[in-house]
């Protein structure tokens, strides 16, 4: 240990295990919604088909690519900190946050486009759609919205990591916080990997 000032109660393995346990709760949070989707899809196949065709596959694919790249930049930033290259680790984290913002801007335009057509939770237009389509859009807004919230939280976590690296609180000897923030970001990517085909591809 290079920094005896902060040695008290530091448990890398325990912290990481705690992070994984938290990730499991997140997986079940989204897993429950996936299950609701699967059941209603099997019940209202036709309606889900029509509703899913309304979604923009291009913007969905673009956001998938953006998130996958951001997942790589986070993984690279952890490699960088392990090698002791703080500068590069910070630059890669900044790049990740920029990519996350690109994701959110795309989401803004995507949702904005839906709102223009009066498609938003609780709208009269949505209420008059067949039951299955209403359910699809309900799940679409709920799941992509909850996912977007996770993108924002992930950005905050990565944003907290950067000054910690700059202040040498995160070093090649001790990067648990950085690693856990990275795990959270990968979780955001992992969930999107399943959301994307369910919402945009399977029509």
Partner 1 sequence: MEKHHISSYTSHGIVLTVLLTLTALSVTIAELHLGAISVAVALLVASIKGTTVLTYFMHLKYESTFFKVMVAGVFAMYALIIIFTFFDYIFR
Q: Which residues bind partner 1 (CB under 8 A)?
A: 1, 12, 17, 20, 24, 27-28, 31, 35, 38-39, 42, 57, 61, 64-65, 68-69, 71-72, 74-76, 79, 82-83, 173-174, 179, 183, 186, 189-190, 193-194, 196-198, 201-203
Return the number of the residue (120 or 186) whose C-beta is nearest partner 1: 186
Find the shortest distance in angstroms from Cβ 183 to partner 1. 6
Nearest Cα to Cα of residue 77 among 60, 58, 91: 91
Find the shortest distance in angstroms from Cβ 136 to partner 1. 15
CA distances from 39 to 50, 168, 201 (A): 17, 50, 18
d(CA 14, CA 20): 10
Return the number of the residue (17 or 101) whose C-beta is nearest partner 1: 17
3-state SS of 124-138?
Answer: HHHHCCCHHHHHHHH
Find the shortest distance in angstroms from Cβ 115 to partner 1. 26
d(CA 41, CA 71): 30
């Amino acid at each position: 240990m290079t920094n005896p000032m902060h040695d008290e109660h530091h448990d890398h393995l325990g912290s990481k295990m705690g992070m994984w346990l938290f990730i499991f709760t997140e997986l079940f949070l989204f897993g429950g919604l996936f299950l609701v989707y699967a059941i209603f899809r099997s019940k209202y196949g036709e309606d889900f088909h029509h509703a899913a065709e309304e979604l923009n596959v291009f913007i969905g694919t673009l956001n998938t690519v953006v998130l996958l790249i951001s997942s790589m930049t986070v993984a690279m930033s952890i490699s960088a900190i392990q090698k002791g290259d703080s500068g590069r680790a910070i630059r890669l984290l900044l790049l990740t946050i920029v990519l996350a913002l690109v994701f959110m801007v795309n989401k803004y335009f995507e949702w904005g486009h839906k709102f223009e057509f009066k498609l938003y939770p609780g709208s009269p237009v949505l209420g008059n759609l067949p039951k299955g389509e209403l359910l699809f859009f309900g799940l679409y807004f709920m799941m992509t919205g909850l996912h977007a919230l996770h993108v924002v939280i992930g950005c905050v976590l990565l944003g907290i990591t950067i000054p910690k690296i700059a202040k040498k609180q995160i070093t090649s000897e001790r990067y648990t916080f950085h690693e856990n923030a990275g795990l959270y970001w990968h979780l955001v990517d992992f969930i999107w990997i399943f959301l994307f085909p369910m919402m945009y591809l399977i029509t």
